[in-house]
Structure 1
Amino acid sequence: MNPILVFQKLKEDVLLTYQKQYPYFEGNWKTFSSQDIQNLIDLITTNVKQTVSEKWIYTHLKVETNEKLPRKDMLDILSQFVGYSGWDEYVFKWKEEPAIVLTAKAPNRAKIYFVLFPVLVLLMFLSYKYIKSENIQTIEVKNAFTEEQINSDEVKAVLIEKNVETPIQIIDSKIQINAKDSSKIVLKSPYYKEKTVIINKTSNPEISLQPDDYAMILKGFMKSDIKDWQTRKEQLNKILAADLEVLVMLKNDLGTEYFNKKEFSEKLIVPSVSLKKMKVIDIQRNSSNEINFIRILQE
């Protein structure tokens, strides 16, 4: 089989594997959103221990047709993600796949089976989705102090079952899971304190996350139009550690910028359009609760 055709099949299998973790996604690569891309990157990192950039996904997976084959190391990563040892095994699988040929002279009974079989499969699928949906719970994620919904982009959720972590998609500040006898969910955010909750079939909880005060102050500096420079400087000096390291990941996989405390503070003191487009994705603290590491995504 043509390698390009095999790669197209691999793209389909990547989508099917993604849908096993996110059953509510029923689209295709054309409708694959930026949030779906981030979820896929996280899944590949967790399951394969390898990284794929957002730019690579846009270049090779989001496109409808591929004119040339991507690098083999990337093909290996995707093949491992869908359950194979690598690209070579995946290609071998399709070489061994028997061809299915339908002839015009097939018996009438065979034609009837051919028509009825897809209908039976569809009925089984709908029955499965109905049974599965009975145990699905919708959990709202809120700010513990204001009781307002938390922006879905500011928090990540992970389902832990038998020591296996599976990312959960958060849509409109809500989590939907197929609750079992006891499901553990861990929620992490750069702006809120980490929280672990246990969900069961009978509960229908609302998860409240407690804001991290210093992280919220930092968020306010980055997103608001405060013009009192002296106040900013004094507050930043209090919440930022002397050995602060800030890494800003640039768009289109162009690399990373580094800032120390002085450089980053000067950037925060004066509000700007580029500052408001920065998205904090990780904050770490030292033993004195000062912020000593920040990772930012330049949007």
Structure 2
Amino acid sequence: MTDLEFFYQLKKSVLEQYQNSYPYFNGSWKSFSAQDILNLIDDIQFITKQSISEKWIYTHLKPETNQKLPRKDMLDILSVYVGKSGWDEFVFNGNIKENNNNFKLGFSNKIGILVLVFGVLIAGFFIWKFLSKEEQKLEFQNSFTKDSIAKEEVKAYFVEDTVEKQIDINSSTFNIDKATKVVLKSPFYKPKVITILPNEPIAKVELNPNDYAMMLKAFMKSDIKDWQTRKEQLNKILSDNLEVMVMLQNNLGAEYFNKQEFSQKVILPTASLKKLKIVELKQENDNKISFLRLTTE
């Protein structure tokens, strides 16, 4: 602040001190009357033991604006009137108050900025949590052997209002944003329903093997030479009404086999048999296999 600005502050303090002595006065320097001026002169003389002229008050205190700073000896008298030792103390205290206000303002601004930033971060976090979908990863293992199960052997479906929607589990992860029911199906494992929750990592899902399907898979991939044993075991796990569809490559259609024809292919293993892959399998109530859909690998 400039000295002239401090003088305006001093004029304000003088008016406040005068109101302390004359509480019935509730005006400003503009409304300060001739009687108020006489009262002020008396009050200043009583408190400071020094005199100030009526003309000086009209010249320096009554105007709303001042062009220049009055003499320091007169400023000292007014400063003593408002409770200071002199003009120098009045200015010094005014500077301290201004610096404190600036510090408080600066500190308040910093606190405000920190609160704003923190609020934005919190809001951003909740918006992100609301909009983002939690990534989940499905992995499978045989419940008996604890061996990992290839994802190609399992299909997964979201269940929404009894409607199943297949999801891609061959990619590394998939996204969910709420508790989700998932149905797992495989030609070689029994169906299983699991519930996946956001923010909760999924442990490896254990699937119970379908014994008859596993046996048939082993027959098709192995080099067992005991064809009689194979024939007896196949007769046990295959339904008399078995239907087998082998999907041909390049969209050339499909080949159809009944139980006898398919058993003959399995009993005498060939290189072409090992290339066949079970993609769909159905069973009767006694677990005998009644339908097979195969593709070539």
Report TM bin, short chain: 0.5 to 0.7
For residues 112-191 of structure 1, what are the structure 2 equivalents within 5 Å? 132=132, 135-171=134-170, 176-191=173-188
CA distance in 2, matches of 1:223, 1:291: 18
- The one-letter code sitting in structure 1 at the alignment partner of 2:140 is V
Residue number in structure 2 paired with 1:221:
219
Q: CA deviation at 1:201?
A: 1.6
Residue number in structure 1 paired with 2:275:
277
Moved over 6 A (4+): none
For residues 217-296 of structure 1, what are the structure 2 equivalents within 5 Å? 217-296=215-294
CA distance in 1, matches of 2:241, 2:163: 35
Residue number in structure 2 paired with 1:197:
194
CA distance in 2, matches of 1:270, 1:239: 17
CA distance in 1, matches of 2:162, 2:291: 28
* TM-score of the pair, normalised by structure 2: 0.53
Q: CA deviation at 1:263?
A: 0.6
CA distance in 1, matches of 2:236, 2:155: 28
Tell me the secondary structure at the aligned position of residue 139 of structure 1. coil
CA distance in 2, matches of 1:192, 1:128: 38
Tell me the secondary structure at the aligned position of residue 137 of structure 2. strand
Q: CA deviation at 1:293?
A: 1.0
Q: Deviations over 1:95-147 (max 9, x none)?
A: xxxxxxxxxxxxxxxxxxxxxxxxxxxxxxxx989x736x1122211111111
CA distance in 1, matches of 2:227, 2:276: 20
CA contact (8 A) 1:157 1:167 kept: yes
Structure 2 CA distance for partners of 1:292 and 1:163, relative to 1, 3 Å: closer
Cα-Cα RMSD: 2.3
Tell me the secondary structure at the aligned position of residue 282 of structure 1. strand
CA distance in 2, matches of 1:227, 1:151: 28
Which blocks of at least 5 consecutive residues in structure 1 are unaligned?
A: 1-126
Q: Which has the larger radius of gyration?
A: 2
Structure 2 CA distance for partners of 1:226 and 1:178, relative to 1, 3 Å: same
- The one-letter code sitting in structure 2 at the alignment partner of 1:207 is V
CA contact (8 A) 1:139 1:204 kept: no
CA contact (8 A) 2:138 2:169 kept: no
- The one-letter code sitting in structure 2 at the alignment partner of 1:258 is Y
Which blocks of at least 5 consecutive residues in structure 2 are unaligned?
A: 1-126
Across the two proteins, how many residue pairs are aligned to each other?
A: 170
CA distance in 1, matches of 2:132, 2:177: 11
CA contact (8 A) 2:156 2:185 kept: yes
CA distance in 1, matches of 2:287, 2:178: 37
CA distance in 2, matches of 1:297, 1:273: 14
* TM-score of the pair, normalised by structure 1: 0.53
Q: Deviations over 1:130-184 (max 9, x none)?
A: x736x11222111111111111221111112344433222237x6x232333101
Structure 2 CA distance for partners of 1:143 and 1:247, relative to 1, 3 Å: same
CA contact (8 A) 1:141 1:209 kept: yes
Tell me the secondary structure at the aligned position of residue 296 of structure 1. strand
- The one-letter code sitting in structure 2 at the alignment partner of 1:184 is K
